[in-house]
């Protein structure tokens, strides 16, 4: 079973170890300071999506930051959290990461995410196995990212 594991952000209200410039670290209160990041736990939307909405109707479902992927070769840890956006377009769920230029779709969210993992792995093998001389500029940039995305 190929699954996406989410990178759960875990932040705790309270006095920060380092106060931002202009704020006194000694000012304690039950209410979180306005400058502090809100708490999020689990698989929920972290940021609003900025998807081009001029053609068709795109409905944002969620944005995840993942730090590991379960591929056919097994679980792999990623060198940096990967932003994965899921939107609904018509009858399909579309899952994508813009940096690595990986896009997938499916009739359900799970199918779309499973396809994302499969296409990610196929693109990983393709780019890592390619020589720079075989690629144009933008493809070289993507290869450089794929070469480093899997934590050794």
- Which residues are at the interface with another protein (CB under 8 A)? 52, 55-56, 58, 87, 89-92, 94, 96, 98, 101, 103-105, 115, 118-119, 121-123, 125-126, 130, 133-139, 141-142
Nearer to another protein by C-beta: 38 or 138? 138
Kindly report the number of other CB atoms within 10 A of residue 66's CB atom: 18
Question: At closest approach, how far in Å is the CB of 39 from another protein?
Answer: 33
Give me the residue label for tokens 């196929």. Answer: 122
Which helix or strand (DSSP H or E) is residue 88 part of?
A: strand 74-89
- Whether the CB-CB separation of 25 and 19 falls below 8 Å is answered with yes
Whichever of 91 and 152 has its CB closer to another protein, that residue is 91
Q: Concatenated DSSP letters for 141-152?
A: HHHHHHHHHB--
Q: Looking at beta carbons only, is 46 or 119 nearer to another protein?
A: 119
Least spacing, CB of residue 107 vs another protein, in Å: 10
State the pairing for strand pair 92-97/74-89.
antiparallel
Closer residue to another protein (CB): 19 or 58:
58
């Amino acid at each position: 079973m190929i699954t996406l594991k989410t990178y759960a952000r875990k932040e705790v209200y309270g006095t920060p170890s380092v106060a931002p410039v202009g704020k006194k670290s000694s000012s304690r209160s039950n209410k979180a300071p306005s400058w502090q990041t809100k708490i999020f736990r689990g698989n929920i939307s972290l940021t609003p999506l900025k998807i081009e909405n001029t053609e068709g109707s795109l409905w944002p479902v969620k944005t995840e930051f993942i730090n590991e992927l379960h591929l056919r070769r097994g679980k792999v840890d990623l060198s940096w959290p990967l932003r994965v956006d899921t939107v609904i377009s018509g009858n399909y769920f579309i899952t994508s990461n813009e940096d690595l230029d990986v896009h997938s779709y499916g009739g359900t969210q799970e199918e779309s995410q499973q396809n994302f993992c499969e296409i990610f792995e196929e693109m990983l093998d393709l780019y890592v196995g390619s020589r720079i001389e075989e690629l144009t500029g933008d493809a070289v940039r993507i290869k450089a990212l794929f070469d480093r995305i899997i934590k050794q």
